[in-house]
Amino acid sequence: MKNTDLIKLPFSKNNPILVQVLGICSCLAVTAQLKPAVVMALSVTVVVVLANVIISLLRNTIPPRIRIIVQLVVVSTLVVLVDQVLKAYMYDVSKQLSVFVGLIITNCIVMGRLEAFAMVQKPWASFLDGLGNGLGYSVILIVLGFVRELFGSGTLWGYPVLEKLGLYNIGYENNGLMIMPPMALILVGIIIWIHRSRNKELCE
């Protein structure tokens, strides 16, 4: 595979959320507002990139039987680091994300990339693959966070957009369903629908 494809494919035909349907749990849980969604997206990207590189460097020394344990140790270390950084510099967002930062350890995208890619590829390719998948995940999270915060709370990054536009004066109201996780699932479904109708070869 070409290096550019490693970055490009996770955005389109091999998106971790839209095509592999991985990482759905965090994608439903943290996207009620844009800010935590962006922070979560960045955290996962950092973890998956670093874990990919580290595992790729270690790949020839890891005995196959205990590879999952080794992967988990690496990922956990990185997640604890990310968690500490968030607590130190973005305490409010860290509070909002609560357990979901810790749950990056079990994020299927991270484990999936390690198992499927980093265990058998060189560090540079693994770096690009991690970056591509992390960003592919990020795009969906940010789109969801944008739509859900805009229609669910009427704000963007905490700024009351719809109120400034004066929509409430003409009878508009926030949609309560948007801030509930089921609506995130439906939105993911709609994005998948659009994605597949544009990429016919993905349809089963």
Q: How far is the CB of 183 from another protein (least distance, A)?
A: 8
Which residues partner with 159 through β-bridges?
156
Q: How far is the CB of 176 from another protein (least distance, A)?
A: 5
User: Which of 39, 42, 11, 31 is CA-nearest to residue 184?
Assistant: 31
Q: How far is the CB of 34 from another protein (least distance, A)?
A: 20
State which residue, 160 or 189, has the beta carbon closest to another protein: 189
Distance CA 53, CA 46 (A): 11
State which residue, 158 or 176, has the beta carbon closest to another protein: 176
Which amino acid belongs to residue 6? Answer: L
Distance CA 62, CA 129 (A): 20
Write the CB contacts of 78 (distance below 8 Å, at least 6 apart in sequence). 46, 47, 50, 51, 54
Alpha helices in the chain (DSSP H): 3-8, 24-29, 34-58, 67-89, 91-97, 99-102, 108-113, 123-152, 161-165, 181-198
State which residue, 1 or 186, has the beta carbon closest to another protein: 186
Q: How far is the CB of 198 from another protein (least distance, A)?
A: 14
Binding residues vs another protein (CB under 8 A): 171, 173, 175-178, 180, 186, 189-190, 193
State which residue, 29 or 62, has the beta carbon closest to another protein: 29
Cβ atoms of 103 and 25 closer than 8 Å = yes
State which residue, 134 or 152, has the beta carbon closest to another protein: 152
Q: How far is the CB of 152 from another protein (least distance, A)?
A: 9
* String of DSSP letters for 116-141: IIITTS-HHHHHHHHHHHHHHHHHHH
Q: How far is the CB of 29 from another protein (least distance, A)?
A: 18
State which residue, 158 or 189, has the beta carbon closest to another protein: 189
Here the tokens at position 106 are: 């079990």
